[in-house]
Amino acid sequence: MSFQSVRTKVGKYELGRTLGEGTFAKVKFAKNLDTGENVAIKVLDKEKVLKHKMAEQIKREISTLKLVKHPNIVQLYEVLGSKTKIYIVLELVTGGELFDRIVHQGRLQEDVARRYFQQLINAVDYCHSRGVYHRDLKPENLLLDAKGNLKISDFGLSALPQQLWADGLLHTTCGTPNYVSPEVINNKGYDGAKADLWSCGVILFVLMAGYLPFDEPNLMMLYKKIYRADFTCPSWFSSGARNLLLRILDPNPTTRITIPEILENEWFKKGYRPATFEEEENINLDDIEAVFNEEQLVTEEKEKKPVTMNAFELISMSQGLNLSALFEQQQGLVKRETRFTSRHPAKEILSKIEEAAKPLGFNIKKHNYKMKLQGEKTGRKGHLSVATEVFEVAPSLFMVELRKAGGDTLEYHKFYKNLSTGIKDIVWKSDVDMEGKHRKSGDASSSRS
């Protein structure tokens, strides 16, 4: 069985599956047809960009990103434009999110956490030296490559969605409040470098503790804790880590430790190897203006053909190009996207998911072999939204992907755990599932047994 879908080619890139969705942008898997290289392409709607008067902001942010070339930052390769879209071509990172490691393991060993923190500080310091400030640093924006090295994603672009907020509170709406510094909450202007460093401190705490230093269900209570830097380090933190955190999470930005001081800190320096790389010269920024001036427009070519999962798309979903990861062998957790395989017909799969989702409080919208589940209740970050799609991998074998399209990641974890109980009859046991490698009885993948 196969079914029809539209494949889109933009210039030299063939667009594939959706990797993620934002307020007004989607990130697509793509293949460079000239070189065979796999990339990620962020697709923005040009009409929305112009409507919200964001053109100059995007030009400035993209220009900066093109100038920031560091091994621990997701690279921006080029920018393309059609009559209706802007395409930002980015490095494809295949190792998943650092957030997933924390959810899975609870906390990391101090040496492991320090290595990620060293890479984070090295990259942030590099960007600050070029006037670039992230403003939304948190584990969900830290990716891992196939070798386990940290990659900061959406550097600089993270401020863009905030333009959509009517209250104008750019400072307080850029990301999760738990990671935001006291001076940003005050909304009286702030030093971008000091604010980013505070977020780095919260990330270090989360990596080593497995939970947030500041976490309250009531937003005002949360802000009060942040204002006072009211947190306690767990007993397993070493004195060196504890002392450094107390200096980073200093609510007074004028006395907060600086990155040059961190680089001289004894705890930080242990095993520290700063990134070595050659800085790129003669970077061309002409393509940024061209996409807005409707010069050098790329064409969008659409072609209908059966959706059979291409090999390069399958490989992109695996960690370290290990295809066994596709079938959940490594997943003692549910990430922001989840996949399983089934031998049941595609329509039956979607019907079963719909049947299991409705009692959980979700409205369903279907279009061909895609389905959108929209939560009726408002959660921590608005309504939970889940995109579902069925792909044909081989005759009578389908891969089903559920992806968080909106809302809170941890609420998505809870949703999938509940949903998996209702769809266990359609999930095919892979050979890896039969091996049952060290799985916890309560996690989402064990519900498939």
Catalytic residue positions, numbered = 136
Question: Cα–Cα distance between 356 and 335 in angstroms, integer?
Answer: 19
d(CA 71, CA 336): 25
How many CA atoms does the CB half-sphere of 257 hold within 13 Å?
21
* Cβ neighbours, 10 Å, residue 210: 14
> Helices 110-128 and 192-209 sit at what angle, rounded to 10 degrees?
170
Rounded-to-integer distance, Cα 386 and Cα 371, Å? 8
Return the structure tokens found at 63.
Answer: 């220009």
Which value, to the nearest 10 degrees, does the dihedral of the CA atoms of residues 90, 87, 28, 17 take?
-140
